[in-house]
Amino acid sequence: MMLSRIADSLFWIGRYMERADNTARILDVNYHMLLEQPPNTYKLRWDPLIAVTGERARFYAAHQEASAQTAFEFLGFSEGNPNSIAQCIVNARENARTIRDRISRELWEDINSLYHRVTRMREQEEDLSRFCDAVKRGGHRFHGVCDATLARDEGWHFVQAGCVLERAEMTARILDVHYHQLLEGPRILNESRNHLWMAVLKSVAAFEFYKRQYGQIEPAKVAELLLLDARHPRSVRFNLSALQSSLYAISGSVPGTYANEAERLTGKLHESLTYARIEEIFAGGLHEFLQDLQQTCRSIGEEITGAYFHYSVVA
Amino acid sequence: MSAAAAEFPPDQLLFTGYSPGSFYDELIAPNGEPRPCAARMYEQLASMPLDIFEERRKLADLSYLVQGITFTVYSDGRGTERLFPFDLVPRIIPRSEWDVIERGLAQRVMALNLYLQDIYGAQRILKDRIIPRHLVFSCKHFRREMVGLNVPRDIYVHISGIDLVRDSRTGQYLVLEDNARSPSGISYVLENRLVMRRTFPRAFETSEVMPVDHYPSELARILRSLSPRTGERPVVVLLTPGLYNSAYFEHCFLAQEMGIELVEGRDLVVVDDVVYMKTIHGLTRVDVIYRRVDDDFLDPLAFRAGSLVGVPGLINAYRAGNIGLANAIGTGVADDKAIYAYVPAFIKYYLGEDPILQNVETYLCSDPQHLCYVLDHLPELVVKAVGESGGYGMLMGPSADKKTIEEFRHRLNADPRNYIAQPVIPLSRVPSFDPAIGGMSPRHVDLRPYCLYDGEKVTIVPGGLTRVALQRGSLVVNSSQGGGSKDTWVLRGDE
């Protein structure tokens, strides 16, 4: 038995924690990559980062230009940016506080400690790397504590569903924004281009895995790994598969069937990624494909909400 | 060594220069020696270096912060979370003293329940003119809707918190007020004990302290017994006003400890006079609600319209006998501060016994003679609004300025029924850590034991919540006024 409101909070704890983690990753990797680039490219390269988070309009309302400092402030701390790392952690913690009777004491104390650690850091005094590191470690610990202390009931599956849906969408966004920039942005030396793809892989912790699988950096292979790989925990396909399992566990559906629109959309998208070839995707336009994919992820989120959290009761 | 400790002489110990003064000290006898009940604890604390004590104090604070045992202060606009200050020196009660308190409280809880049964039933006590009819019916929390309604197992007050103080002049415990609606604070009793066990494990080895952690299971047992459906495992929930209620931590804590669902009004729905909760797989029937929402907000259809924390239709479900509620509705007619003055009379009337615990002398402003006296002695008295709790609507005569006193004079004349007055009780004190002197100072305390009633017997967790006025000289123990709390030990014996 699980209250709709509690399931809703668990789902969003998963999403917010994953969002904070991903944002810290792309912020950190970008920063380090740019340290080694010629200075005149700096300005250009912070803008796509803002775009990944989907907050360009809000950013340019507050800042004139995208620099390391303004991006760090905006993505790391800004109270005006609902998707800043600090705000994601505030929201995750607020959700956890509301349902602290339903999660393990360890999980609550872990999220609460992360909240206190992060909200006490200030951008003027903090080193970007240290900050991102604290958030990433927090993300890893979150998964570890969930794994080690939560019963594998519906609650667990709602946390999982939130995490993997968020991660699938974030990976698609990262790929979309960088691909767009690399192909259509200003001319960049080939050597730098390799560098940028390496940064993308590192931001999703897939660099070592890629090197072992493919060796040479090739944009199409990077896209293939991030979209279609069945084994890497940050590929879109991997996460959709996990999402499908969790949705089935919640509803009791068996493979090949679906109990609601969220399951149908997830199954359909997962199927298409399972049998797709990267060449076909490129032929149809990667950007268009990724846009559709992100839209489907948003629809899945809405359908989960409609099926489990906010349905109407006829009284 | 910590910075604080460095400011004080290296040979200074926690009790160096401690004097119990002219008030009753719970731990230290007037000659400066520890009382028998406190001897073992004193022995450990008195020899503990200041920096070690400081370290443990920080550890305890950190543990409250990490667990999120905080209350929210909204005065700065950001909603800052503060810790409810916790003082590491326990209040210790010898067994023989506790036995008297326990019997006195049980007697009082029985009498309050019989009174409620009577007022919402035959009203014998009114016919026998033990208490004036108008005083009862003019109570803010009297619920006409409850008259003639049968409540499950005839219990009205399942959970109560009765505030006690020790009068320094006589050394006697007195009842200061009854809380028969939804008293809070029990979670601090349980958490304080947990933190103390972690902070001073050795103290528990040497002192034989009675455990407190059976409270949630006892409460759960009573709640389950209120289910109208027999034969099924009852579904019990705790109804909270939500995250922004100052007692939200406690609601979560109790729900978790009892293994029941914590719900908000929006989680519940009433269909055909049956209460359900909204789950991910549809509606589930609810049998018993431990509600931490006031009567007024419980059902927007029956009481205050527009209440967002309540459940529309809940009262009809209750009237139809489809849901158990704890506490019952309308129990505020028992803890009204004017009714309080009659509780000793209830004990005599319903139980035929003499009250074991005495009341504080109380002037009812609704009585013209009493009012006259109160108006003449305002600077010496404590004036309280009858329907309020938590220190609201209160005048502390001796510390109030002229303007406030005149304001209250005006209020008393305008609405005498709404006020009572009591002499200022010189509360007993307990040694408490004072960071300013790097050692112990005596601070005033009260005591709120928590009583559970299952219709046959009253169960009281040994001890209760000791609230302490951490500011020097202050008699106000409320957390909003710089009050804190202490762990309360009832010993298995007297030492």
A91-131 pLDDT tens trace: 999 999 999 888 998 999 999 999 988 888 876 667 888 89
Q: Check B261 against A1: CB less than 8 A apart.
A: yes
Nearest CA-CA distance, residue B97 and chain A, Å = 36
B379-393 pLDDT tens trace: 999 999 887 766 677
Q: How far apart are CA B120 and CA B118, in angstroms?
A: 6
Q: What phi-psi label fits residue B393: left (phi over 0), alpha (psi between -120 and 50 degrees) or beta?
A: left
State which residue of chain B sits closest to A113, comparing Cα positions: B66
Q: At what angle do helices A4-34 and A85-98 cross, to 10 degrees?
A: 160
Q: Is it the case that residue A42 has pLDDT exceeding 80?
A: no
B237: nearest Cα among B269, B192, B194: B269
Q: What is the ipTM of this complex?
A: 0.80
3-state DSSP of chain B: CCHHHHCCCCCCCCCCCCCCCCCCECCECCCCCECHHHHHHHHHHHCCCHHHHHHHHHHHHHHHHHHCCEEEECCCCCCEEEECCEEEEEEEECHHHHHHHHHHHHHHHHHHHHHHHHHCCCCHHHHCCCCCHHHHHCCCCCCHHHCCCCCHHHCCCCEEEEEEEEECCCCCEEEEEEECCCCCCHHHHHHHHHHHHHHCHHHHHHCCECCCCCHHHHHHHHHHCCCCCCCCCCCEEEECCCCCCCCHHHHHHHHHHHCCEEECHHHEEEECCEEEEEECCEEEECCEEEECCCHHHHCCCCCCCCCCCCCCCHHHHHHCCCCEEECCCCCHHHHCCCHHHHHHHHHHHHHCCCCCCEECCCEECCCHHHHHHHHHCHHHEEEEECCCCCCCCEEEHHHCCHHHHHHHHHHHHHCHHHEEEEECCCECEEEEEECCCCEEEEEEEEEECEEEECCCCEEECCCCEEEEECCCCCCCCCHHHCEEEEEEEEECCCC
Q: How far apart are CA B467 and CA B104, in angstroms?
A: 20
| Percent of chain B with pLDDT strictly greater than 70 | 95
Is residue B77 very low, low, confident or very high in pLDDT (cuts 50, 70, 90)? Answer: low
State which residue of chain A sits closest to B244, comparing Cα positions: A98
State the average pLDDT over residues A134-147.
96
Q: Check A2 against B243: CB less than 8 A apart.
A: no
* Nearest CB partner across the interface for A2, out of B68, B264, B280: B280
Establish if A159 touches chain B: CB-CB under 8 angstroms.
Answer: no
What stretches of chain A adopt beta strand conformation (E)? none
Parse chain B into domains and list their residue ranges: 361-423
* Nearest CB partner across the interface for B243, out of A7, A97, A315: A97
B100: nearest Cα among B359, B447, B356: B356
Q: How far apart are CA A290 and CA A226, in angstroms?
A: 11
Mutation for B interface: A11, A100, A153, most B CBs within 10 A: A100
Q: Check B267 against A3: CB less than 8 A apart.
A: yes
Using a CB-CB cut-off of 8 Å, the residues of chain A touching B262 are: 99, 101-102
Is residue B330 very low, low, confident or very high in pLDDT (cuts 50, 70, 90)? Answer: very high
* Nearest CB partner across the interface for B271, out of A7, A308, A315: A315
pLDDT at position B352, please? 97
pLDDT at position A120, please? 81
Q: Are B278 and B270 in contact (CB under 8 A)?
A: no
pLDDT at position A125, please? 64
Q: Check B252 against A3: CB less than 8 A apart.
A: no
Using a CB-CB cut-off of 8 Å, the residues of chain B touching A309 are: 280
pLDDT at position A241, please? 97
| Percent of chain A with pLDDT strictly greater than 90 | 63
pLDDT at position B72, please? 63
Q: Which long-range contacts (CB under 8 A, 24 or more apart) does A297-302 make?
A: A297/A165, A297/A168, A297/A169, A297/A172, A298/A169, A299/A261, A299/A265, A300/A165, A300/A243, A300/A262, A300/A265, A300/A266, A300/A269, A301/A165
Give CA angle at A77 (A76, A83), nearest 5°: 70
Q: How many helices (H) and strands (E) does chain A have?
A: 15, 0
Between B332 and A195, name the one with better pLDDT.
B332
Using a CB-CB cut-off of 8 Å, the residues of chain A touching B83 are: none
State which residue of chain A sits closest to B275, comparing Cα positions: A315
Q: Is it the case that residue B2 has pLDDT exceeding 50?
A: no
Nearest CA-CA distance, residue B236 and chain A, Å = 13
pLDDT at position A21, please? 95
Instruction: Please tell me whether residue A291 adopts helix, strand or coil conformation.
Output: helix
Instruction: Please tell me whether residue A53 adopts helix, strand or coil conformation.
Output: coil
- One-letter amino acid of A239: N
* Nearest CB partner across the interface for B269, out of A112, A309, A313: A313
B57: nearest Cα among B35, B85, B33: B85
Nearest CA-CA distance, residue B474 and chain A, Å = 33
B245-267 pLDDT tens trace: 888 889 999 999 999 999 999 99
Using a CB-CB cut-off of 8 Å, the residues of chain A touching B251 are: 101
CB-count exposure of residue B104 (10 Å: 0-12, 13-18, 19+): buried
**Residues A80, A85, A89, A90: what is their CA dihedral angle, to the nearest 10 degrees?**
-10
Q: Are A4 and B284 in contact (CB under 8 A)?
A: no
Parse chain A into domains and list their residue ranges: 1-150, 152-315
Q: Is it the case that residue B11 has pLDDT exceeding 70?
A: yes
Q: Is it the case that residue B485 has pLDDT exceeding 50?
A: yes
Establish if A109 touches chain B: CB-CB under 8 angstroms.
Answer: yes
Q: Check B280 against A4: CB less than 8 A apart.
A: yes
Chain B: residues touching A (Cβ < 8 Å):
65-68, 242-243, 251-253, 255-256, 261-264, 266-267, 269-271, 277-281, 283-284
Q: Is it the case that residue B1 has pLDDT exceeding 60?
A: no
pLDDT at position A277, please? 95
Q: Check A2 against B271: CB less than 8 A apart.
A: no
Backbone angles phi, psi at B432, to 5 degrees: -140, 150
CATH of B361-423, one of 3.40.1360.10, 3.40.1160.10, 3.30.1490.270, 3.30.465.10: 3.30.1490.270
Average pLDDT of chain A is 89
State which residue of chain B sits closest to A252, comparing Cα positions: B281
Average pLDDT of chain B is 91
* Nearest CB partner across the interface for A313, out of B67, B255, B283: B283
Using a CB-CB cut-off of 8 Å, the residues of chain B touching A113 are: 66
Between the alpha carbon of residue A313 and those of residues A1, B268, B271, B279, B310, the distances in Å are 17, 11, 10, 11, 17
B37-50 pLDDT tens trace: 999 999 989 999 89
Nearest CA-CA distance, residue B391 and chain A, Å = 27
User: What percent helix, strand, coil does chain A show, rounded to 5?
Assistant: 75, 0, 25
A47: nearest Cα among A75, A74, A66, A22: A66
State the average pLDDT over residues B439-460.
95
Q: Check B252 against A100: CB less than 8 A apart.
A: yes
- Chain A residues 246-265 with a CB less than 8 Å from chain B: 250
Establish if A116 touches chain B: CB-CB under 8 angstroms.
Answer: yes
* Nearest CB partner across the interface for A4, out of B66, B270, B279: B279
Instruction: Quote the DSSP letter at residue A39.
Output: G
B375: nearest Cα among B424, B412, B418: B412
Establish if A156 touches chain B: CB-CB under 8 angstroms.
Answer: no
Between B5 and B357, name the one with better pLDDT.
B357
- One-letter amino acid of A72: F
Structure tokens at B271: 């269909």
Give CA angle at A45 (A40, A47), nearest 5°: 125
Using a CB-CB cut-off of 8 Å, the residues of chain B touching A108 are: 67-68
Nearest CA-CA distance, residue A128 and chain B, Å = 25
- One-letter amino acid of A261: E
Mutation for A interface: B253, B280, B314, most A CBs within 10 A: B280
Using a CB-CB cut-off of 8 Å, the residues of chain A touching B271 are: 313, 315
Q: How far apart are CA A287 and CA B240, in angstroms?
A: 48
B402-446 pLDDT tens trace: 999 999 999 999 999 999 999 999 999 999 999 889 899 999 999
Q: How many residues does chain B have?
A: 495
Using a CB-CB cut-off of 8 Å, the residues of chain B touching A100 are: 68, 252, 256
Q: Is it the case that residue B69 has pLDDT exceeding 60?
A: yes
Nearest CA-CA distance, residue A84 and chain B, Å = 18
* Nearest CB partner across the interface for B279, out of A1, A99, A113: A1
Using a CB-CB cut-off of 8 Å, the residues of chain B touching A159 are: none
CB-count exposure of residue B39 (10 Å: 0-12, 13-18, 19+): middle
State which residue of chain A sits closest to B274, comparing Cα positions: A315
Q: Is it the case that residue B397 has pLDDT exceeding 70?
A: yes
Give CA angle at A61 (A56, A63), nearest 5°: 85
- One-letter amino acid of B139: C
**Residue A167 C-alpha from the chain's centroid:** 4
Q: Is it the case that residue A157 has pLDDT exceeding 70?
A: yes
Using a CB-CB cut-off of 8 Å, the residues of chain B touching A315 are: 269-271
B119-157 pLDDT tens trace: 999 999 999 999 999 999 999 899 998 999 989 889 999
Q: Locate tokens 């931490």: which residue?
A: B292
State the average pLDDT over residues B55-70.
84
Establish if A198 touches chain B: CB-CB under 8 angstroms.
Answer: no
pLDDT at position B280, please? 94
B188-225 pLDDT tens trace: 999 999 999 988 888 888 888 999 999 999 999 999 99
Q: Are A150 and A159 in contact (CB under 8 A)?
A: yes
Instruction: Return the number of CB contacts < 8 Å for A and B.
Output: 64
Establish if A151 touches chain B: CB-CB under 8 angstroms.
Answer: no
Q: How far apart are CA B270 and CA B293, in angstroms?
A: 17
